[in-house]
Chains A and B, each alone.
Chain A
Amino acid sequence: MEKEIRGIQLPLSQTQKVRLKKALELLQSLSLKVNVDASVVVADTITVDHEDGVLKGHGTADLNGEVVATICGVVERVNKLVYVRALRSRYKPEVGDIVIGRVVEVAQKRWRLEINYCQDAVLMLSSMNMPDGVQRRRTAVDELNMRCIFEENDVVCAEVRGFQHDGLHLQARSRKYGKLTRGQLLTVSPYLVKRQKQHFHHLEEFGIDLILGCNGFIWVGEHIEATDDMVEDQVNQSDPQVLLPGKNSVSLEEQEKSYTTLETRKYICRAANAIRVLSTLGFNITLEIIKGIIDLSLSMNLDIHDMLGSEFCVLVAEKEAERRSSNKKKR
Chain B
Amino acid sequence: MVGLSCGENHFIQGGIAQDLRCDGRKRLAYRPISVETGVIPQANGSARVRMGATDVIASVKCRLNFESQACCNLIKEKSRYILTAVQLQSQLLRSHSIGFRGRGGDELAAELSIALQRCLLGGKSGTAVVLMLVFFFSGAGINLSSLIVVERKICWDLYIDGLVVSSDGNLLDALGAAIKAALSNTGIPRVQVAAETSNNEQPEVDVSDEEFLQFDTAGIPVIVTLTKVGRHYIVDATSEEESQLSSAVSISANRQGNICGMTKRGGVGLDPSIILDMISAAKHVSDQVINKLDSEIASAEAEEES
Give the interface of A toward B (CB within 8 A). Answer: 1-2, 11, 102, 151-155, 179-185, 221, 252, 255-256, 258-260, 262, 265-266, 269-270, 272-273, 276, 303-305, 307-309
Contacts and interface: CB of A to CB of B under 8 A. Distances in A.
Contact of B22 (A2, A184, A256): A184
B23 A305 contact: yes
Q: Is the interface of A mostly helix, strand, loop or mixed?
A: mixed
B13 to A, nearest CB: 7
Nearest to B16: A259
B87 interface: no
Nearest to A9: B50
A180 B8 CA distance: 9
Contacts, number: 94
A273 B5 contact: no
21 contacts: A1-B300, A1-B303, A11-B32, A11-B34, A153-B3, A153-B4, A154-B5, A181-B7, A185-B8, A252-B231, A255-B13, A258-B10, A259-B10, A259-B17, A262-B20, A265-B15, A265-B20, A269-B24, A273-B23, A304-B24, A308-B32
A125 B217 CA distance: 62
Contacts of A304: 20, 23-24
A99 to B, nearest CB: 16
Given A102-B2, A153-B5, A183-B7, A1 B34 contact: yes
Contacts of A262: 18, 20
Q: Which of A151, A266, A305, A308 has the most CB of B within 10 A?
A: A305
B299 interface: yes
Given A181-B6, A182-B10, A259 B18 contact: yes
A246 B17 CA distance: 24
Given A11-B32, A252-B230, A304-B24, A155 B17 contact: no
B173 interface: no
B11 to A, nearest CB: 6
Contacts of B26: 305
Interface string B15-59: 101101111111001001010100000000000001000000000
Given A183-B7, A252-B230, 12 more contacts: A1-B300, A102-B5, A151-B6, A153-B3, A181-B5, A181-B7, A255-B10, A262-B20, A269-B15, A273-B23, A303-B24, A307-B24
A305 B21 CA distance: 9
Nearest to B15: A265
Nearest to B2: A102
Identify the 10 closest CB pairs spanning chains A and B, nearest first. Answer: A181-B7, A304-B24, A259-B14, A153-B3, A305-B24, A269-B24, A154-B5, A305-B25, A153-B5, A11-B34
B20 A266 contact: yes
A184 B3 contact: no
B7 A265 contact: no
A309 B303 CA distance: 20
Contacts of A255: 10, 13
Nearest to A256: B17
Contact of B5 (A155, A260, A270): A155
A185 B5 CA distance: 10
A269 B21 CA distance: 8
A192 B15 CA distance: 28
A272 B20 contact: no
B10 A2 contact: no
Contacts of B5: 102, 151, 153-155, 179-181
B17 A184 contact: no
A158 to B, nearest CB: 15
B36 A155 contact: no
A155 B231 contact: no
Nearest to B18: A262
Contacts of B4: 153
A305 B25 CA distance: 5
Interface string B171-211: 00000000000000000000000000000000000000000
A276 B20 contact: no
A304 B5 CA distance: 25
Interface in B226-248: 230-231
B23 A276 contact: yes
A265 B14 CA distance: 9
Given A272-B22, A305-B23, A182 B13 contact: no
